[in-house]
Amino acid sequence: MRTCYDSTRASDIPLTAVMVAGYVDGIWRWSDADWQRFSNAVKVPIACFPTTNDGVVGDVETGDMLPWELPDWVRLRRAAGVDPTGYVNLSNWNPTRTEFHLRGIPEPHWWLADYDNNPSLPTGTVAKQYANSVLAGGHYDLSVVADNWPGVDMTQAEFNALVAGNEPLQRLFWRVDALLGDTPTTLEPGQPPETNQVHAQLEAIKTAQHAAAPARFSGTLEGTLT
């Protein structure tokens, strides 16, 4: 599980946040600088209006989308290749789900707002906003989030496309894997210059990783190890 921070003002969210949510439209729209403030965080863009062809989350609450408008936004985003999520509070969750059923549109993933200060995920949700600003102690809300949020987290196919043909990036990931496996990737002063042995160890790790998950990475490990 992870914790996501969201706020109308990005500057109020701690820089240590590992996941942040902000708006792509409306009066509280985050600027590029707001998003860049969290360079290492997972980002969750929220759309307020059903005509906004942007964002991963559609916001159903007062002043934003109505329950019967979310299906239109979901179809818009799916047509753009996005796997969307609907943000709802406990009282409008069922009415919003009913709209999807009446129109024969598959439901999106769900982010539920229920300020019970209990960071646990209800059945059928990928995130729950469990603390408002009063409970959180700052000008932000807190949500508990599943380890994998479809549409937000990078999929295996997206990762494969990212590294395909990029040998330096592939080598970087294999060196990280080697580091996590306690295999040296750097020859320190005083060590025997057994570059070929280190290369063989990394290749062995790569072979084992491919055997366990064939689609995880692609390419070969080439070049000089430093």
| C-alpha–C-alpha distance, residues 74 and 100, integer Å | 10
Query: With contact defined as beta carbons under 8 Å apart, do 13 and 155 qualify?
Result: no
**What per-residue confidence (pLDDT) applies to 205?**
57
Q: Which of 140, 41, 125 is nearest to 86 (CA)?
A: 125
pTM, entire model = 0.71
Give the torsion sign (CA, 174, 176, 177, 179): positive
**3-state secondary structure at position 63:** coil
Domain extent listing, the chain = 2-145, 156-212
C-alpha angle 115-117-120 in degrees, rounded to nearest 5: 100
Architecture field, domain 2-145: Alpha-Beta Barrel (3.20)
Query: With contact defined as beta carbons under 8 Å apart, do 24 and 45 qualify?
Result: yes
CA distances from 77 to 73, 122, 143 (A): 6, 25, 23
Per-residue pLDDT of the chain (226 residues; tens, 9 = 90+): 899 999 999 999 999 999 999 999 999 999 999 999 998 889 999 999 999 999 999 999 988 999 999 999 999 999 998 999 999 999 999 999 999 999 999 999 999 999 999 999 999 999 999 999 999 999 999 999 998 898 888 766 666 776 677 777 667 666 666 666 655 555 444 544 444 455 555 556 556 655 554 443 333 333 333 3
Query: With contact defined as beta carbons under 8 Å apart, do 25 and 16 qualify?
Result: no
